[in-house]
Amino acid sequence: MRIRETAWTPAERTEPDVDLDDRVRALADLLRGRRAVVLTGAGISTPSGIPDYRGPDSPARTPMTYQQFVGDPGFRRHYWARNHLGWRHMEAVRPNDAHVTLARWERRGLVTGVITQNVDLLHLKAGSRTVVDLHGTYAVVACLDCGARQSRWALHEELERLNPGFAERVATRGAIEVAPDADAVLADTADFRPAVCPACGGVLKPDIVYFGENVPSARVAAANALVDSADVLLVVGSSLTVRSGYRFARRAATTGTPVAVVNRGRTRAHDEAALTLDGDCVEVLAACDRLL
């Protein structure tokens, strides 16, 4: 599966549903006594302090593509300089009540698993057990040449050795904005020294699926299996702009599995969904949990 930009873009944010309470009750009725698989996007993590790419109030962002990363040493240097700062912010972020609610629903048997487009590990931190990290996570780094893998903590120590005082120098220039993929927004990275693979000297890349890169087939198969075995697909906090996530909503809808969407603003799956709720993920899931 290849991640790519598509022609579809979210519509202007609509006004919150005037009948949101009724829709929350309908969501509780839909979930009660059924097995739901949950598909989450950046919107579920914004209450934890991680910005999203396409929310109604988000600034315009252009994530790095796979082709840029592998084809240009300057892009890689720029990325690793920014990631050297941004990943620590990601590591420190804690799950919010929406993540915790989904983990509790899994323990109760209401949820069979979570497919997430996020790389922040917040579902795991919240206690979810069956999680398909569709786009990978920030916590692992892989060599593009020999395939060797290492933890992001281990790479951090090497980047600190290669770039002593870098974080402190950047901090003196003002606040640092962090993007959803553990990337900090910096302008000047010319003096940063990236690390190479300790095993072969090759190119290191985060275990994150970039735009233009294939999602590993094993992850797609695991996600498809969850969707096929579920009675309901619940989408939480995703506009489903990228096809790698939208395809699961399509798969559910075309096989007769009802799709419910909780998101601020319209999504790509609105026309196929059995139920849509325009609202805050934390508030909607909490209200639904009280009814369940």
**Active-site entry in 78, 99, 123, 135:** 135
Q: Note the pLDDT of residue 212.
A: 87
Task: Kindly list the structural domains of the chain, giving each domain's residue range(s) and its CATH number in brackets, ordered by start.
Answer: 1-50+95-135+214-292 (3.40.50.1220), 64-92+139-208 (3.30.1600)
Q: Note the pLDDT of residue 188.
A: 65
Give residue-wise pLDDT tens across range 96-132. 999 999 999 999 999 999 999 999 999 999 999 999 9
* E-strand stretches of the chain: 36-40, 111-116, 131-133, 136-143, 149-151, 177-178, 184-185, 204-208, 232-236, 259-263, 275-278
Across the range 227-255, mean pLDDT stands at 95
Q: Which residues pair with 208 in a beta bridge?
A: 136
Higher pLDDT, 51 or 120: 120
Q: Give yes or no: 135 in active site.
A: yes
Give residue-wise pLDDT tens across range 177-226. 555 554 445 556 778 999 999 999 999 999 999 988 989 999 999 999 99
pTM, to two decimals: 0.86
In eight-state DSSP terms, residue 44 is: G
Q: Mean pLDDT across the chain, nearest whole number?
A: 87
Is the alpha carbon torsion for 117, 263, 184, 74 positive or negative?
positive
